[in-house]
Structure 1
Amino acid sequence: ARRLKQEGFNVDMAGDGKLCMELISAYDYDCIILDIMLPSMDGLSILQNLRAKKINTPVLLLTAKNSVDDRVKGLETGADDYLTKPFSMEELVARVRVLLRRESKNIVNELSYSDLSLNLITREVTRDGRKIELTIKEYSLLEYFLRNKERILTKAQIAENIWNYDFEYDSNIVEVYINYLRRKVDNKNFKEKLIHNVRGIGYVLKVKK
């Protein structure tokens, strides 16, 4: 996961099949890397389940070197590609990029929530039609919120995805940059606040009803 994050990907990890299925059902991912050998629910069962639910997200299946039957069954069940263990991280990243290119025509160029929008091509940010100038880190932080709208994000998740290091490295930096971002997208010029503190946990981008 660390290498994928270093390559600029936002990554969620699941240590067992049940949690993996919950994440896939709850969130819209661009690509899924699925290990056949998972506790509680194996990868092939997960793949069959998500295809039955019409979830067509590209799937890269990880299999044991000698498990030809698993590879064949995985492809027949709906996997888009497979990688046998052991493998290099360079090859994993390359195969993920290929799958994403195949789906590129379906990838949106803009992320939006309420009256806030972020253009992934021009990197322009607007709220209520007003252009907002952000630094590189502020932009990355807002993009992460928009990709996870209405989902509570812990400070540790934010630190790991935006700065690529453990939360303990500098626990104040997340709070500092959240404040910077709020001053620009949640100031008095706008009717409602979008970025909220969740006490004892982290933050959420949400319209409070």
Structure 2
Amino acid sequence: MRLLIAEDEQELARAIQVILENEGYLVDIVHDGKEAYEYASLVDYDGLILDIMMPKLSGLEVLEKLRKESKQIPILLLTAKSAIDDRIGGLDLGADDYLTKPFAMGELLARIRAMTRRKTVLQAKIVTFEDLELNSDSIHISNGKQEMKLSNKEFQILQLLMENPKQLFSAEQLIERIWGWDADIEMNSIWVHLSNLRKKLATLEVHVRIVATRGVGYSLEVIR
């Protein structure tokens, strides 16, 4: 299950990320409302933890824009203890729940489980492209007969490529989308993950390959 944390307090965001990843979630972090809106518009997250007070766009503005575009991602608002009007406004705009700061991490986990339960029941866990299947619950890929386990980052990369087949992504774009715009990741790291994914796709003998276009980027293509 993949979550997006939108929180401008970087230490708090990182603390939440560590706890959620220890619970088995895949987690992306952004630190302003503009990034939150862009990420939530492009990626099919299972849930968004959205701080109300953020630069560029407020959490309420992000929430309103997403709901006006009929995006039904479950959204948990983080609010100041005294901000009663913001909590009411957020619920009226379509937020699924809210949590006031400071909060216990145990309560945050419980709220996340509750708000994502509805989507988990309704959402198909299998993403397919040609004869390749990606199980977003078990983080496996399969050809319908044989399956292979992916690492968290391999899963995120392949999910992005499968949701955007034949679209080119540069290595820099992949790093920005998977690790975040401010991540200090060496280019070598993305090449290693792509190489591992290519080997796993070849082992499954599916008709899908990650193709490198020199000087441009990578795409998921059908190979016959």
Alignment TM-score, normalising by the size of structure 1: 0.75
Unpaired runs of 5+ residues, structure 1, are 161-165
Q: Do structure 1's residue 46 and structure 2's residue 62 form an aligned pair?
A: yes
Aligned amino acid, residue 11 of structure 1? V
Query: Residues 125 and 133 of structure 1 are in contact (CA less than 8 Å); yes or no, is this contact kept in structure 2?
Result: yes
Structure 1 residue 143: Cα displacement: 2.8
1:89-100 equivalent positions in 2, closer than 5 A: 89-100=105-116
1:145 lines up with 2:157 in the alignment: yes
SS in 1 for 2:53: coil
Q: Does 1:81 align with 2:97?
A: yes
User: Offset at 1:205?
Assistant: 5.2
Identify the structure with the greater strand proportion.
Answer: 2
* Partner Cα distance (1:189, 1:102) in 2: 35
User: 1:32 corresponds to which letter in structure 2?
Assistant: L
1:162-181 equivalent positions in 2, closer than 5 A = 175-176=191-192, 178-181=194-197
Which residue number in structure 1 is paired with residue 220 of structure 2? 206
Q: 1:133 to 1:59 in 2, by over 3 A?
A: closer
* Percent of aligned positions that are identical: 36
Retained in 2: the 8 A contact 1:36–1:63?
yes
Change (3 A) 1:25 1:119: closer
Give the Cα–Cα distance (whole angstroms) in 2 for the partners of residues 197 and 15 of structure 1: 32
How many residues align? The count is 196
Q: How large is the RMSD of aligned CA atoms in angstroms?
A: 3.5
Provide the C-alpha distance between the structure 2 equivalents of 1:132 and 1:139, rounded to a whole number of angstroms.
17
Partner of 1:6: 22
- Pairing 1:154–2:211 present: no
Change (3 A) 1:84 1:204: farther
Q: Please say if residues 63 and 71 of structure 1, whose CA atoms lie closer than 8 Å, have aligned partners that are also in contact.
A: yes
Query: 120, 126, 142: which one pairs with 1:126?
Result: 142
Give TM-score scaled by structure 2 length. Answer: 0.70
SS state of the match for residue 221, structure 2? coil
Structure-2 separation of matches of 1:39 and 1:104: 31
Write the distance in 2 (CA, Å) between the matches of 1:189 and 1:18.
41
Instruction: Tell me which residue corresponds to 2:86.
Output: 70
The verdict on how the C-alpha distance between 1:172 and 1:96 changes in structure 2, with shifts beyond 3 A counting, is: same
Q: Any idea what the Cα deviations from partners look like across 1:161-187, whole Å, max 9, x if unmatched?
A: xxxxx857xx97765554344223136
Matched position secondary structure for 1:38: coil
**In the alignment, residue 75 of structure 1 is paired with which amino acid?**
L
Change (3 A) 1:120 1:20: closer
Q: Distance in 2 between matches of 1:113 and 1:91?
A: 38
Bigger mean CA deviation after superposition, 31-40 or 10-19: 10-19
